[in-house]
Amino acid sequence: MTRQALIGDIGGTNARFALVSPGKTAPHDILTLPCADYPGVVEAARDYLERVGASGEKAPREACLAFACPVHAERVSMSNNHWSFLKGEVKRDLALDDFKVINDFMAQALGVPHVDSHDLVSIQTGEAEGHAARLVIGPGTGLGMAGLFPARRAWVPLPNEGGHASFAPTDEQELEIYRRLHRRYGRVSVERILCGQGLLDLYRVLAEIDGLEASASTPAQVTEAANRGDPLGRDTILRFLKILGDVAGDAALTLGARGGVYLCGGIVPRLIDWLPHSGFLSAFCNKGRMRPYNEAISIQVVTAPWTGLLGAAEALHNEEVE
């Protein structure tokens, strides 16, 4: 009997589980379960395995689960729901021989090399070098960022907290944005702007600056307003993408991302039609004497729906991932 492995990509609202065959990365039997329906990850995993007929004698003996929260300690506590667990207890309760827990954005990064070409949209062709670092960056609930390096035997993930770097305004409007956010929050990180809540805050700040009424009350409503032709919504989306270009360009220089930059997460794929009309690419390349360096970097948007699951599957037997 070929025993499948359990993989998962778990956020604040939903837990996405799948099985993967030995030596493969393509997930199958994918199900999304609401976290609120279960006391914890063990109960959710057991229910998933029952639903797909992989319980009892067929139950997996190894698993890799990615969580949208810090995972370095023995106890993992979700930031946006009630789940909290000890890694050793989950391994015991699910009768696993091997159990890996990784951060959700590390899973995104590890999944990128396994994404099909038709799930990549090119923003800048560039000249991707094979044996060079790759940058994976994407705004969602926060601003995720990770590096990835092709070692001789495995992909080496380079997790970081680059989303918490300081926001550096580059023009007068951004200086005013910074001042208003600083009065409200104190320190202004790039994640303060480049995330779902940040998109809404940016919308409200631009409304204050221009003396306009801010009618949108959610990030989705900001995008909807922009798509309807609302000037404030449009300006918000364009400014958001321009700042993302600044930050991604700086991160590419810091990492030396000659292997390419990959934009993922929950927001950018939804704004993909806006990218050509925004200042993203200009800001990415506007690095003074280093302009030619960034102009040569390949940039792609990842539109694949299961990148985190691909990364969890990669992590299972990747000796660089503990």
Query: Helix and strand tally (H, E) in the chain?
Result: 10, 13
Residues of the chain with CATH 3.40.367.20: 116-303
Q: How far apart, in whole angstroms, are the C-alpha atoms of residue 249 and residue 174?
A: 17
CATH class of domain segment(s) 116-303: alpha beta
pLDDT at 290: 98
- Dump pLDDT digits (tens) for 117-150: 999 999 999 888 888 999 999 998 889 999 999 9
Q: How far apart, in whole angstroms, are the C-alpha atoms of residue 180 and residue 292?
A: 34
DSSP sequence for 4-36? -EEEEEE-SSEEEEEEE-TT----EEEEEEEGG
- Domain 5-104+307-316: assigned CATH number: 3.30.420.40
- Dump pLDDT digits (tens) for 6-58: 999 998 889 999 999 988 899 999 999 999 999 999 999 999 999 999 998 89
Which residues sit in the known binding site for ATP? Answer: 8-13
Per the listing, tokens 């926001």 go with 167
Residues of the chain with CATH 3.30.420.40: 5-104+307-316
pLDDT at 13: 85
Which residues sit in the known binding site? Answer: 8-13
Flag whether pLDDT at 1 surpasses 60: no
Q: How far apart, in whole angstroms, are the C-alpha atoms of residue 189 and residue 180?
A: 13
pTM above 0.85, yes or no: yes
